[in-house]
A and B are shown apart, each in its own frame.
Chain A
């Protein structure tokens, strides 16, 4: 089981409380598709992904970005059992969506950069970043767990 310190829990809750899901979610997913273009392979049915502008303006990508971020709420609400919270979702990504789990790390990194861009240097401190990365590592690991 993952051990969380009080300050780690506080940092993670602070970040989620500042998030505008409809803004950050779309931006994080769009950024992932632009910075790591091979991730577009999973979005063949999502319309125009021709260039960065098209991706950023794509409403289907935006909606999906928001959905992904809301999906992370479940990890926030079940921080002491993220592994089992995501068991079904992990199976979905493995068996139905066939997503290479290495891609979860790429999206997580883009989400971190988007959040950092919204906060100032003084707000998104190194300690906050470390706690956030730990949280995302647990989420990423849980999502990859049902792959075989």
Chain B
């Protein structure tokens, strides 16, 4: 599904974004909570207002997990095994929310990267995030 070139592109982008994982993650989460308010239902225990430290902490954790997965896309299930169990048996998030988050992450990337977020990069990133979400949801049923 992803070519060698696309995998390198993705790994490269996420490595460059790791230092600002909290900003990127918080931005994408806030966009998701604002555009898809149903997604907030899973975070009723957190402060989801703009600039909340919870957004940055949770956002950073998510982005670092994505960046880790990007290092070895061929073995996503290995990297994501603990998160698969968490999302399937404890969090039980409806998988449609993964799509919502992926879309908002693409918007965040477009805002931050501008012209550098080319159609080719967008296509690769969309494929990667879809694959990531699919692997994350593998243990759901």
Could you tell me which A residues sit within 8 Å of B by CB distance? 30-31, 34-35, 52, 55-56, 109-110, 112-114, 116-121, 124, 126-127, 129-130, 133
User: Which residues of A lie under 8 Å from residue B122 when comparing CB positions?
Assistant: 31, 34-35, 110, 113
The distance in angstroms between the C-alpha atoms of A127 and B27, with both chains bound, is 12
Docked pose: A130 CA to B50 CA in angstroms: 14
A117 & B115 in contact (Cβ 8 Å cutoff)? yes
In angstroms, Cα B104 to Cα A112, docked, is 10
Q: Which chain B residue has the least Cβ–Cβ distance from A52?
A: B120
Q: Is the CB of B119 within 8 A of A52?
A: yes
Q: Tell which of A110, A119, A133 has the most Cβ of chain B within 10 Å.
A: A133
Contact A56 B119 (CB under 8 A): yes
CB-defined contacts of B120 to chain A, threshold 8 Å? 34, 52
Across the two chains, which residue of chain B brings its CB closest to A32? B119
Q: How many interface contacts (CB-CB < 8 Å) are there between A and B?
A: 60
Q: How many residues of B contact A (CB 8 A)?
A: 24
Cα A120 to Cα B27 with chains together (Å):
12
Rounded to whole Å, the gap between the CB of A109 and the closest CB of chain B is 6
Residues of B within 8 A of A30 (CB): 119
With A and B bound together, what is the CA distance between A118 and B114 in angstroms? 6
Known: A117-B117, A126-B27. 20 other contacts (CB 8 A): A30-B119, A31-B122, A34-B123, A35-B122, A52-B123, A112-B107, A116-B107, A117-B110, A117-B111, A117-B114, A118-B114, A121-B27, A121-B112, A124-B111, A126-B30, A126-B33, A127-B34, A129-B35, A129-B104, A130-B34
- Point out the residues of chain A lying under 8 angstroms from B117, CB to CB: 113, 117
- B-side contacts of A133, CB under 8 Å: 35
Task: Mark interface residues in B33-61 (1 if CB within 8 Å of A CB, else 0).
Answer: 11100000000000000100000000000
Determine if B31 and A113 form an interchain contact, defined as CB atoms under 8 angstroms apart. Answer: no
Query: In terms of DSSP, what is the predominant structure of the interface of chain B?
Result: helix
> Are B119 and A129 within 8 A (Cβ)?
no
- A117 interface neighbour in B33, B35, B113, Cβ under 8 Å: B113
Selected from A55, A110, A121, A130, the residue in CB contact (under 8 A) with B111 is: A121
CB-based contact B34/A34 at 8 Å: no
B103 within 8 Å of A (CB atoms): yes
Give A116 to B108 CA distance when docked, in angstroms.
8
Taking the nearest CB of chain B, how far is it from the CB of A53, in angstroms? 9
User: Residue on A with the closest CB to B114?
Assistant: A117
Q: Cβ of A112: which chain B residues have Cβ within 8 Å of it? A: 107
B111 with A116: CB separation less than 8 A: yes
